[in-house]
Structure 1
Amino acid sequence: MIIAALVLAVIVGYIRGGTLKKIIRLNFPYFFLVIIALIIQLNINILMKIVDFGFLAYLLLLVSYLLLIGAVWFNRKNEFLFLVLIGLLLNFLVIALNSGMPVSYGAAKILGFESGDYLNRLAVDYKHIAMLSTTKLRYFAAIIPLSKPFPLPGIYSVGDVFISIGTFLFVQNYITYSGKHRKEGKRSKTDVGHWMLDI
């Protein structure tokens, strides 16, 4: 979902007159924290094939979210990132309280997965777990099924929705506007007494 939001943001921003050069010049301090977090998340399952230790995967997942939360917090004055922060915090809480992100079987069934497929996939996925009757904050877990024609079908959480919306709004707004024409939580000298809504 987040990747789809990012791609859509670039497309919409370009249609609105933005340029991809602005992505290269993106002013995002501590962006290296995002890179480290993504590397961790993308390699957790691979690492666990070498070191089969579920608790380590859980800790690495929490660390990756803390890095993302830190990166967004340091840039919280940037437009729309508060939505991303809310989403990250929601996902972090659900994962922390359940030792992983619970996935709804009901949502999986809507996407065509039978019970065996559902359990087999979770057995080799160290980031997600089965949703049980004892699952905490179950309404913020992965309960939202998105099927085709959505470009990246899957089961997503409320936190994922917040992250995706915030990412979309932030990126497309950034590549479309620059300088005084992009809101950054401040009024420019020429905008005193008047707010211009960019989107």
Structure 2
Amino acid sequence: MVYDGILLSLVIGFFRGGSLKGLAHMKLRGGWLFPLLLVVQFAIFALQDKVAIVAKLSNTLFLIVYAVGLLFLWINRKQPGFIVIFAGVLLNFIVMAVNGGRMPVSVEAAQVLGREYVDALQTGVYGKHQAITSETLLPFLGDIIPLSPPYPRQQVISIGDVIINVGAFFFIQHLMLNTASKERSTVPVSK
């Protein structure tokens, strides 16, 4: 879902006269952390069914990834939109932490993803997800919002995901439009 928000923000930024040059000049403290966290998360996904120790520690590893991500967002909180992104990630972290390190998913909402996904969800965990049950804590913070056509991709998202996208939208718009604005103001006027 976050990738969808980023793509939408880029498209809107272009329609508003923005430039990608601002993305190249982005200055984030600890900027290397974000790609590292993505790689670690993909490694956990890939190895949790193949390597026993990763399977055993995957819930803890997912929580560590989120905690480090929160730290990264906090140290960059003065960037436009980052405090909003922080709030969304914090909501996702909270619901995962109180439910053993997995994101609870509504089985009803997951119907848009197809029978195979629902079956995998109901038989155990799927990636970093698990089905919402009567024992799930804070289920309203889990993946409960189904997206289906006319939305281009079928998926189930959380309130935290929505908030993350709002923050990412503000950040990308700021980067794209401020650079384009500065470029226009420095162009010499011909006489």
TM more than 0.5: yes
Change in 2 beyond 3 A, CA 1:14/1:155:
same
1:195: which partner in 2? none
Q: Report the AA paired with residue 133 of structure 2.
A: L
1:58: which partner in 2? 59
1:102: which partner in 2? 104
Q: Report the AA paired with residue 166 of structure 2.
A: I
1:38-64 deviation per Cα after TM superposition (whole angstroms, max 9, x unaligned): 112222221112213544111111111
Q: Report the AA paired with residue 11 of structure 1.
A: V
| Separation of aligned partners in 2, 1:154 and 1:112 | 6
SS of equivalent to 1:56:
helix
The answer (yes or no) to whether the contact 2:19–2:179 under 8 Å persists in 1 is: no
Map of 1:39-188 to 2, 5 A cutoff?
39-53=39-53, 54-99=55-100, 100-109=102-111, 111=112, 113-114=114-115, 117-121=117-121, 123=124, 125-178=126-179
SS of equivalent to 1:49:
coil
| Separation of aligned partners in 2, 1:73 and 1:117 | 34
2:186: which partner in 1? none
Change in 2 beyond 3 A, CA 1:56/1:107:
same
SS of equivalent to 1:105:
coil
The answer (yes or no) to whether the contact 1:62–1:95 under 8 Å persists in 2 is: yes
| Separation of aligned partners in 1, 2:113 and 2:46 | 26
| Separation of aligned partners in 2, 1:159 and 1:25 | 28
Change in 2 beyond 3 A, CA 1:97/1:24:
same
Give the structure-1-normalised TM-score: 0.82
| Separation of aligned partners in 2, 1:56 and 1:132 | 22
Q: Report the AA paired with residue 175 of structure 1.
A: M
Among the aligned pairs, what percent are the same residue? 33
The answer (yes or no) to whether the contact 2:121–2:130 under 8 Å persists in 1 is: no
| Separation of aligned partners in 2, 1:92 and 1:124 | 17
Change in 2 beyond 3 A, CA 1:67/1:55:
same
- Following TM superposition, by how much is the alpha carbon of 1:121 offset from its aligned partner in structure 2, in angstroms? 4.8
Structure 1 stretches of 4+ with a deviation exceeding 3 A read 52-55, 121-124, 178-181
Structure 1 unmatched runs, 5+: 182-199
Structure 1 range deviating more: 87-96 or 26-35: 26-35
Change in 2 beyond 3 A, CA 1:180/1:71:
farther
The answer (yes or no) to whether the contact 2:2–2:164 under 8 Å persists in 1 is: yes
| Separation of aligned partners in 2, 1:73 and 1:46 | 28
Give the structure-2-normalised TM-score: 0.85
Structure 1 range deviating more: 128-137 or 168-177: 168-177
Change in 2 beyond 3 A, CA 1:8/1:135:
same
